[in-house]
Chain A
């Protein structure tokens, strides 16, 4: 579990003075689906291109499978499948021919083409020219191409970009199956938190080229926290009952709001309130949405660096995962 598939140290890319990627430290353990999250223009694609050797880092080190990318690029890329941004394809060729151009270089048996086409569900359209494909089909062809060489590491940049809901669902299910069925580690980037939340097991949030959070998804969710809202007949009087039970509530529009209490406490509270002749209308759990958390983390990183640091240091550390906090 502790073996790192991808590790970067102080990875930086400068474009004419601005830092598109700034001292980024990625750590992706084997067997994870790592969600690489950030708003548009945060440096996700630039980072992924550096991981694939498509662009050169201005400084810093990329290690994949524990090997230095600069030195062993070809050996590493043989074990990596990738899909960068919108799909690359040759429109005048059909799906089989498209995959054949890659198969000849990877030197895998011809049967792999049928296998990967089956995996992404394109067997029926295999003989059609790719320029006639829908975006979703092109995207699936791109994933088939990435899977062709039976990679150990799959790097997918915005694989669900521009797809309709059913296409998104298909791709998501496909990605979720990879670590279980084939032991593939997946790095998937997105600017949609909900997307990452539904498939990733760990997450890295990047903004303005800097890593502002890196931990397991459950720790991210825990950090978002939940509140218990109790709506009842006389909230102000109920506050006293609550205090007698040793709990502290916030009063908001005739509702009592509790933070960080466990099931036992809730049960005791409710029975105490009932004994005190309060009419309880509703007891509900409200999650602070991850979207809110994400927005707080990513909005105006320059103006509120300290706030981000505060968020970052609040959560418990995840096993085997390093957490990065903006300085």
Chain B
């Protein structure tokens, strides 16, 4: 059943522009770095990161990854929820023979798939920037893939919150404002204490050894929020 639900959710996303967000986010980040490294090639590639230009490129991109992920989670979930909220289609969807928990799960999976696609796109487009700038050495495929994936896992609590709020609240302004505020604050993640979940994606990027641990924290906190959201969604009255 979850497969059927997911396939309908993907069908409902046709012509909504959601996939453009998935595409433009990572490609935009890479384009920004192409400009950065292209304009300051002499300083960045031949001086500052001369020993390992790939690591330099990944590091510079990484500075913008947390805010991009938070924004993506907010925007994608708002768009996914909007499909059902706009014409009040919830009453139709939930009057079908489906479990509410599965409807909730399907919305989550749809968003997760989009985030994973964005991670892969980010890896690919950053690799292309490096190759075009003729960086030496082999392409660090693992580092490129984890550039998006680890911070994404560490940011999952945000997705849990967004999932909960966008799918249960009538007023979408609340989750969207909250998501944008969190995205902006996350820029200063590196200077926040590590106990604050908003700092986790930055921690993951700055400290390779802590990456798995903080990704784990992210998943754990997400699981709690997901469960609460799912229970609330399953029990609430549909107006």
- Do A and B assemble together? yes
> Does A16 belong to the interface (CB within 8 Å)?
no
The answer for the CA separation of A75 and B98 in the assembled complex, in Å, is 9
The answer for the CA separation of A267 and B239 in the assembled complex, in Å, is 58
A49 touches B14 (CB 8 A): no
A contact residues around B11 at 8 Å (CB): 93, 97, 100-101, 104
One of B89, B91, B97, B239 near A90 (C-beta < 8 A): B89
The answer for the CA separation of A84 and B89 in the assembled complex, in Å, is 10
The answer for the CA separation of A77 and B4 in the assembled complex, in Å, is 17
> Does B88 belong to the interface (CB within 8 Å)?
yes
Most buried by A among B16, B99, B237: B237
Those of B97-121 within 8 Å (CB) of chain A: 97-99
**How many of B's residues come within 8 Å of A, CB to CB?**
29
Those of A61-85 within 8 Å (CB) of chain B: 73-78, 80, 82, 84-85
A77 touches B95 (CB 8 A): yes
A contact residues around B90 at 8 Å (CB): 88
> Does B86 belong to the interface (CB within 8 Å)?
yes
B6 to chain A, nearest CB (A): 10
A contact residues around B40 at 8 Å (CB): none
B91 touches A102 (CB 8 A): no
B2-18 vs A: 1/0 string, CB under 8 Å?
A: 00110110011011100
Q: A77-B96, A102-B96, A104-B4 are in contact. Are A92 and B238 (CB under 8 A)?
A: no
Nearest chain B residue, comparing its CB with the CB of A46: B237
B contact residues around A106 at 8 Å (CB): 96-97
One of B5, B15, B87, B237 near A56 (C-beta < 8 A): B237
B contact residues around A53 at 8 Å (CB): 94-95
A contact residues around B4 at 8 Å (CB): 104-105, 107
Those of B1-38 within 8 Å (CB) of chain A: 1, 4-5, 7-8, 11-12, 14-16
> Does B191 belong to the interface (CB within 8 Å)?
no
A contact residues around B12 at 8 Å (CB): 90, 93, 101
A91 touches B8 (CB 8 A): no
A contact residues around B14 at 8 Å (CB): 92-93, 97
B contact residues around A104 at 8 Å (CB): 4, 7-8, 11
A84 touches B99 (CB 8 A): no
The answer for the CA separation of A70 and B5 in the assembled complex, in Å, is 22
A204 to chain B, nearest CB (A): 21
> Does B83 belong to the interface (CB within 8 Å)?
yes
A93 touches B92 (CB 8 A): no
A41 to chain B, nearest CB (A): 14
The answer for the CA separation of A77 and B99 in the assembled complex, in Å, is 11
The answer for the CA separation of A241 and B12 in the assembled complex, in Å, is 77
A88 touches B97 (CB 8 A): no
B contact residues around A74 at 8 Å (CB): 97-99
A184 to chain B, nearest CB (A): 16
B contact residues around A52 at 8 Å (CB): 91, 95
B237 touches A105 (CB 8 A): no
A145 touches B92 (CB 8 A): yes
Q: 14 more A-B contacts (CB under 8 A) besides A54-B95, A90-B89?
A: A49-B237, A49-B238, A53-B94, A53-B95, A74-B98, A78-B97, A85-B91, A88-B90, A89-B87, A90-B12, A102-B96, A104-B4, A104-B8, A107-B4
Pairs A–B under 8 Å by Cβ, sample size 30? A49-B91, A52-B91, A52-B95, A53-B94, A55-B237, A55-B239, A74-B97, A74-B99, A77-B96, A78-B97, A84-B91, A84-B92, A86-B88, A88-B89, A90-B12, A91-B87, A92-B14, A93-B11, A93-B15, A97-B14, A100-B8, A101-B12, A104-B4, A104-B11, A105-B4, A105-B96, A106-B96, A107-B4, A142-B92, A145-B92
**Interface residue ranges, B against A (CB under 8 Å):** 1, 4-5, 7-8, 11-12, 14-16, 83, 86-99, 235, 237-239
Which 10 pairs show the lowest CB-CB distances between chains A and B?
A88-B92, A55-B237, A78-B97, A77-B97, A54-B238, A88-B89, A52-B95, A101-B8, A74-B97, A92-B15
